[in-house]
């Protein structure tokens, strides 16, 4: 028998507004209305400004470790712009722009990195999951959320974000395998920023594209210029329409770059060439959009200055809300643990004791003060 081809495929790559701000009219015409483009630019600008402020907060000891988003704003923003409000946005920790577009308050992100977990209590109406710092776990959550929606006959899909390094985690392969084999509507968005902390992408994957890892599970795949807001919107429209109509997953490799360190605890200059970073600064998603809007007479230096003034005020107010939030109550730990707190834990909450005296407060001559947890919250 002759040798035949068992499988043949190709992966499309999408770029509409390139690094020189050259715009593909055929692909991009009507994709983002002018008024929306201005709003998207303003959203990226505000997110970038918050990064700078957060960096200074960390350096001045007012916040813990922080992962800057600069350079990657267009990936999550394009997704949040396209997805329905009730679709799940399942992020890791570099998707602030998409979360803010969804309505998540800036102070929520600041609170998380200040060590206050109330920042992770995402209001249900935003359909956004808490920030996921462990690498890869959120992909399983996205698959589970979309599976639950399908089981209940709801029309939601889930979109999850992860880095190039996360595709080497078993969690990614389990989530992709479940989603593909059980026909679960998940959009997997790999933000290939070329570095898994200090490990370069070429060590993570020997294939020419990370998108090929989606093909291995039978998903349609696309490689996207992740620094191009038009391309991310185009790709998300394709991927979300497929997930919604076919009820099956889609894999997007968004090629981007983190312009800063991995986090404020990192020094990327120890493992990245300066020339590489400078080359990617020229591909900045904000610069592209601004040049394009200026060409369309949608933007000017005056509008840029006005935006900066508004943004400085917005971010300063968010910082003030985060730093001045009331201290958490000691009973919050118990009240958030169960929908209905078991009696033994309710007793611990009310007595703030776990030894025998706490188990039997009646041993005390008077237990009136034990019924006032608020008075003991700060002792």
State the CATH number of the domain containing residue 171. Answer: 3.40.50.970
- Which amino acids are annotated catalytic? 258, 262, 271
Output the pLDDT for position 163: 94
Query: Higher-confidence residue: 78 or 336?
Result: 78
Output the pLDDT for position 375: 46
Cα–Cα distance list, 220 to 4, 9, 243, 314 (Å): 23, 10, 10, 40
Residues 160 and 302 in one domain: yes
Mean pLDDT over 44-57 rounds to 98
Residues 310 and 354 in one domain: no
In the chain, pLDDT over 90 holds for what percent of residues? 81
pLDDT at 370 over 70: no
CA separation for the pair 68, 48 (Å, rounded): 9
pLDDT at 363 over 70: no
**Greatest pairwise CA separation for the chain in angstroms:** 94
Residue-range definition of the domain harbouring residue 364: 332-376
Output the pLDDT for position 368: 53
pLDDT digits 0-9 by tens, 87-96? 999 999 999 9
Does residue 1 sit within a domain? Answer: no
For the chain, what is the mean pLDDT?
92
Does residue 158 sit within a domain? Answer: yes
Residues 337 and 238 in one domain: no
Does residue 108 sit within a domain? Answer: yes
CA separation for the pair 6, 349 (Å, rounded): 64
Residues 372 and 311 in one domain: no
Does residue 3 sit within a domain? Answer: no
Q: pLDDT grade, residue 54 (50/70/90)?
A: very high
β partners of residue 7 = none
Output the pLDDT for position 1: 74
Output the pLDDT for position 374: 47
Does residue 363 sit within a domain? Answer: yes
Mean pLDDT over 312-325 rounds to 97
Among residues 282, 297, 323, the one where a domain terminates is 323
> How many Cα neighbours within 13 Å face the side chain of 347?
13
Domain count for the chain, please give it: 2
Buried b (16+ CB within 10 A) or exposed e, 231-245: bbbbbbebbbebbbe
pLDDT digits 0-9 by tens, 332-360? 888 888 889 998 889 889 888 876 655 56
pLDDT at 376 over 90: no
Lowest-confidence range among 62-76, 99-113, 311-325, 363-377? 363-377
Cα–Cα distance list, 87 to 34, 81, 145 (Å): 25, 11, 10
CA separation for the pair 271, 221 (Å, rounded): 31
Lowest-confidence range among 50-64, 189-203, 216-230? 189-203
Does residue 2 sit within a domain? Answer: no
CA separation for the pair 227, 229 (Å, rounded): 6
Contact 27, 16 (CB under 8 A): yes
Nearest to 273 by CA among 365, 194, 180: 194
Query: Higher-confidence residue: 319 or 330?
Result: 319
Residues 283 and 140 in one domain: yes
Output the pLDDT for position 360: 61
Mean pLDDT over 118-145 rounds to 94
Buried b (16+ CB within 10 A) or exposed e, 351-369: beeeeeebeeeeeeeeeee
Query: Higher-confidence residue: 350 or 235?
Result: 235
Does residue 279 sit within a domain? Answer: yes
pTM above 0.85, yes or no: yes
Residues 270 and 364 in one domain: no
Residues 39 and 128 in one domain: yes
Residues 198 and 344 in one domain: no
């Amino acid at each position: 028998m002759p040798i035949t081809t068992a499988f043949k495929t190709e992966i499309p790559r999408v770029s509409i507004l390139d690094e020189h701000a050259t715009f593909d009219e055929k692909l991009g015409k009507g994709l983002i209305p002018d008024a929306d483009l201005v709003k998207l630019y303003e959203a990226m600008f505000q997110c970038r400004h918050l990064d700078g402020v957060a960096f200074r907060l960390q350096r001045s000891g007012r916040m813990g470790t922080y992962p800057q988003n600069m350079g990657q704003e267009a990936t999550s923003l394009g997704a949040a712009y396209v997805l329905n409000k009730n679709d799940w946005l399942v992020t890791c920790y570099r998707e602030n722009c998409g979360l803010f577009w969804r309505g998540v308050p800036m102070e929520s992100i600041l609170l998380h990195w200040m060590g206050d977990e109330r920042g992770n209590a995402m209001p249900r109406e935003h359909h956004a999951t808490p920030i996921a710092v462990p690498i890869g776990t959120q992909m399983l959550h996205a698959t589970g959320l979309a599976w639950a929606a399908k089981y209940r006959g709801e029309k939601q899909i889930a979109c999850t974000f992860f880095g190039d390094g996360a595709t080497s985690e078993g969690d990614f392969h389990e989530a992709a395998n479940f989603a593909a084999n059980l026909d679960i509507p998940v959009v997997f968005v790999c933000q290939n920023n070329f570095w898994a902390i200090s490990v370069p992408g070429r060590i993570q994957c020997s294939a020419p594209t990370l998108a090929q890892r989606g093909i291995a599970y039978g998903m349609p795949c696309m490689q996207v210029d992740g620094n191009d807001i038009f391309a991310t919107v185009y790709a998300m429209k394709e991927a979300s329409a497929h997930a919604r109509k076919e009820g099956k997953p889609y894999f997007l490799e968004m090629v981007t770059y983190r312009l800063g360190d991995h986090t404020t605890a990192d020094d990327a200059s120890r493992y990245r060439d300066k020339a590489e970073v400078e080359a990617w600064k020229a591909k900045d998603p904000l610069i592209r959009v601004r040049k394009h809007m200026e060409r369309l007479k949608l933007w000017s230096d005056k509008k840029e200055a006005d935006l900066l003034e508004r943004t400085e005020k917005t971010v300063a107010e968010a910082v003030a809300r985060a730093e001045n939030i009331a201290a958490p109550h000691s009973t919050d730990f118990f009240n958030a643990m169960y929908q209905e707190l078991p009696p033994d834990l309710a007793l611990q909450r009310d007595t703030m004791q776990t030894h025998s005296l706490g188990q039997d407060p009646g041993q005390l001559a008077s237990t009136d003060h034990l019924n006032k947890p608020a008075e003991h919250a700060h002792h």
